[in-house]
Amino acid sequence: MTESVTTPDVLIPDNSGGWSEFNAERLTPMKKYAMRNPSLIVGLGMLLGMLLLVGIGHVVWDTEQFRPLSAPTRLGPTLSAELRDGTTAAFPFGTDTQGRDLLAVAILGTPLTLRVGLIAGGVAIGLGTVAAFLAAYYRGIVDGIIRSVVDVGLAMPALLILILVRINIGRELSIDEIGIAIGLTSWVFPARTIRSQVLVMREQTYVELSRLSGTSGMGIIFKEMIPNLIPYITASLVGSVAGAILASIGLEAIGLGNFSEPTLGMTIYWNIQFSSITLGMWWWWLPPLAAIVIVFVSLFLISSGLDEWSNPRLRKRV
């Protein structure tokens, strides 16, 4: 492994050293690390592989047919379905009871759902990190207020608060609004865990040393603490994204999603609503289900891979 990577280093003369140097200094350790941390690589591979398939789908397939009534209804997966005007068309994933082309739905749905998750996870981790640093670094009354907000927030089930808010807004939310709303209701848990990490870090000798050498509070936070917390924050981000996707699918499956967007959760909603299982239309519920399983399993693998990165204590044992 190492030999095959380092040999070109010797052969290639100095003028093209940029790449080989990069190869030896950056890529080789990364490859070595990948061998030691397979779950991170497998998880990333699954997620990127699915996004690649979705990207290809966007290019080669007419995704406009995700709308109802754009295709014949209740077709099983077929490559040549005869349309009413006599022409034939292919529906490799079949169609549902309302005449959506399910391949188009599958292509559009996955990135939409990931987008909700990323927006919500970003909002949650952003707010959570700021709150955690405010609380843990400045302590005192700031900490007291943030801690009670977090404690109360943890006692309020986010999904139900979302339902209450959504009912009172009284209109359908767009995909991005759903993401932001989920983020606003789910920042308390990351705030709590990051706060405890910062509290531990505060007592470390290198922070102490930095404080003694006259670094300002902001300097300590940005130069000493944030860089050391990045692995942990990234791991929490992945967890938050997974949680947000779960929440968004929950919100949509219970009938509070955006009815004009073909997200994975809305497809699940239509499946439950028209009881596709008892109709025997397996091609309707199988693709969104598989996509959701792949998303969750890959996010889970990525987060346990990141865990290994941020918590080396787990490495040696078992």
Binding-site ranges for another protein (CB under 8 A): 148, 151-152, 154-157, 159-161, 163-165, 167-170, 246, 249-250, 253-256, 268, 271-272, 277-278, 280, 282, 285, 289, 292-293, 296-297, 299-300, 304, 313-314, 317-318
Nearer to another protein (CB atom), residue 98 or residue 304: 304
The CB-of-155 to another protein minimum distance in angstroms stands at 5
Nearer to another protein (CB atom), residue 128 or residue 265: 265
Tokens of 146: 């943030």
Sequence-distant (≥ 6) Cβ neighbours of residue 146 within 8 angstroms: 131, 134, 135, 191, 195
Nearer to another protein (CB atom), residue 5 or residue 286: 286
The CB-of-218 to another protein minimum distance in angstroms stands at 31
Nearer to another protein (CB atom), residue 216 or residue 275: 275
The CB-of-188 to another protein minimum distance in angstroms stands at 12
The CB-of-52 to another protein minimum distance in angstroms stands at 21
The CB-of-300 to another protein minimum distance in angstroms stands at 4
Nearer to another protein (CB atom), residue 61 or residue 283: 283
